[in-house]
Structure 1
């Protein structure tokens, strides 16, 4: 079973960082990193967020709440950030429960395919708004 301390150690080693190197990156004492990896102490929320950003993973992944390294929507959001219209549309529809499974499948697509899928959904949504006066 995965634990925070194991995930932290694994991510640190993947990046080729020593405990000291990680402490320098986070601007915290080395002893804090040692305590985290021993399981004697948990980081505060600011440190958790810094770790997630540094390792390009979600806080939920670090805390072993999921085995998915990143938020499923993060990759799609990053891709669409270059197109304000599609990005705004994504923000609007990404909270819809009826589309969650589709979005989960979309996260592993390449950039061009993500654009295409979101453009298709937007076209369908626009057509329905026109047809049904929504």
Structure 2
């Protein structure tokens, strides 16, 4: 099983960066990168976000919580990012187990269809909250 330190080193090398080069990108001392790759230290949340952006991978992938390099819902999030209400609603309901199959299907749709599907789900959820007082 991969570890954070191994994933970090692999991603750094894929980008053709030295430890010093990565440290410059992250604006941290070289010793920090060395400690990360040795497994002696874990980066803070801001540094994890920078690493994920730099390597174009998800934080879950870096932390070995997933073998999927990208967030599978990234496309959906990008489509909905223009509508804060639907984006927030997506974030809220995307963790629901009863809707996981739907989300798996939705991520393969074009932008207009994704928007429509999430709008419909939100309308149904809103109506149920009103009907059942939730």
User: What is the TM-score normalised by the length of structure 1?
Assistant: 0.72
Alignment check: 8 A CA contact 2:2 2:64 kept = yes
Tell me the equivalent position of 1:133.
Answer: 131
Tell me the equivalent position of 2:57.
Answer: 57
Alpha-carbon deviations, 1:37-78, whole Å to 9, x = none? 2x2422232433332233233332112121122444444222
1:32 equivalent in alignment to 2:28: no
- Residues 36, 133 of structure 1: CA spacing in aligned structure 2 closer, same or farther, 3 A cutoff? closer
Mapped to 2, the partners of 1:80 and 1:5 lie a distance apart of 33
Alignment check: 8 A CA contact 1:58 1:69 kept = yes
Alignment check: 8 A CA contact 2:61 2:69 kept = yes
Q: CA deviation at 1:22?
A: 0.7
Q: CA RMSD in A?
A: 2.9
Alignment check: 8 A CA contact 2:61 2:70 kept = yes
Alpha-carbon deviations, 1:91-134, whole Å to 9, x = none? 443343311232234334443342243234335x16x827x834
Mapped to 1, the partners of 2:77 and 2:112 lie a distance apart of 13
User: What is the TM-score normalised by the length of structure 2?
Assistant: 0.72
Long gaps (5+) in structure 1: none
Mapped to 2, the partners of 1:120 and 1:85 lie a distance apart of 13
Alignment check: 8 A CA contact 2:36 2:43 kept = no
Tell me the equivalent position of 2:41.
Answer: 42
